[in-house]
Amino acid sequence: MKFPTCLALFLLPCTLAAPALHPHTVPPLPDGMPNPDAEQLQQIQHRAHGSLPNSPLPSTISDKGITNLQLIAFNELFEVAFFNELLLNVTLNIPGYMILNKIDRAFAIETLTAILAQEEVHALTANNALKHFNKDPIEPCNYTFPVSTFQDAIALAATFTDVVLGTLQDVIVRFAANKDVELMRVIAATIGNEGEQQGWFRLLQDKIPSESPTLTTTDVNFAFTAVQNFILPGTCPNIKNINLKTFPGLHIVTTPGARTQKILVSFSVKDHNVPGELWLTYINQLNVPVVVPLEVVEVGKEDVVVAKALWPYDEHLLNGLTIAVVTGSGGPFGDVNAVEQATLFGPGLIILN
């Protein structure tokens, strides 16, 4: 779908936009992303309330360090596309995105404008670092978002931001393990910014702003898989440069509550060899992964397996983000990276409270 001219020019008469006029994100954006010129970059930094870090980068980096930067760019470009579209939807009063209270609407637009520009700075920081190390910057894809209301968009933003907040922990650990120490500080600074955004997303859902004392960690391979849910297949120019795994998906069928219960999950085993015994492994906060047996309930059309497992909320206080994956081993697993090694399907994302 093409941008209607009025959108590209930010003209106001578009407020009466019919659904057919809804903004569909294809790069480059009107503000020049992903390759803003000097003037456009100044505007982005102005809207972001801050600049691209200009502290000098080290002269060398590990291969794993390059993968970290590529994943960050890949993820941030997806976020840029999302917040660009969300801001347009609110600004243009697209049905489902009308915020009736004038003060709330102005505040939402002001906030989303800053968040979009901050994500742009994050993406540019990672891509500039790749260029510094003589690697190709990551190029944006075409995206699609499974939401059509403001509330659903905010819930989705909270979900992927929770994943980012866990992923950047893993990035810091990988930088440290590969002696890329000079690159760690900017990640810590970015985690704080994403956490501030998350406080607002949570408040908008009538949740208290701070989620848990230590936020759920994850593995870069899970994040790489999760972002691909929002990509139109075949539209990422250089995703192949990113040396990470993509797992077949896991769908959480039963949304669990704040109590111990059985939940259903599903996954397609088409074209996959699956062992006879399976487990569902949960990663929550900074705790040792929790493993429970997975009981197959039925195998349906297209080899979709529906399976049942315990959600042991009461014993483990599984608040905030939980990452669920199907593993071919019952562990025990020392940490999230050990779980990743044994993962067959996932990640499924659960956020409670």
Ligand X SMILES: *[C@@H]1O[C@H](CO)[C@@H](O)[C@H](O)[C@H]1NC(C)=O
Q: Which candidate, 139, 145, 337, places its Cα nearest to that of 244?
A: 337
Report, in Å, the least distance between residue 345 CB and ligand X.
26
Sheet architecture: strand order including 278-284: 251-252, 261-268, 304-311, 290-299, 278-284, 320-327, 343-352
User: How far apart (Å, rounded) are the C-alpha atoms in residues 182 and 245?
Assistant: 26
Q: Which candidate, 222, 210, 214, 164, places its Cα nearest to that of 353?
A: 210
**Closer CB to ligand X, 71 or 153, in the complex:** 153
The answer to whether 351 and 198 are in contact (CB under 8 A) is no
Q: Which candidate, 277, 353, 279, places its Cα nearest to that of 322?
A: 353
**Closer CB to ligand X, 7 or 344, in the complex:** 7
Report, in Å, the least distance between residue 80 CB and ligand X.
11
**Closer CB to ligand X, 189 or 232, in the complex:** 232
Report, in Å, the least distance between residue 24 CB and ligand X.
8
Peptide bond preceding 58 in cis form (omega within 30 of 0):
no
**Closer CB to ligand X, 79 or 170, in the complex:** 79
Report, in Å, the least distance between residue 4 CB and ligand X.
13
Report, in Å, the least distance between residue 122 CB and ligand X.
18
**Closer CB to ligand X, 22 or 47, in the complex:** 22
Q: Which residues bind ligand X (CB under 6 A)?
A: 22, 26-27, 82, 85-86, 89, 94, 96, 142, 145, 147-148, 153, 232, 235
Query: What is the helix (H) or strand (E) element at residue 301, kind and residue range?
Result: none
**Closer CB to ligand X, 33 or 153, in the complex:** 153
Query: What is the helix (H) or strand (E) element at residue 240, kind and residue range?
Result: none
Report, in Å, the least distance between residue 3 CB and ligand X.
10
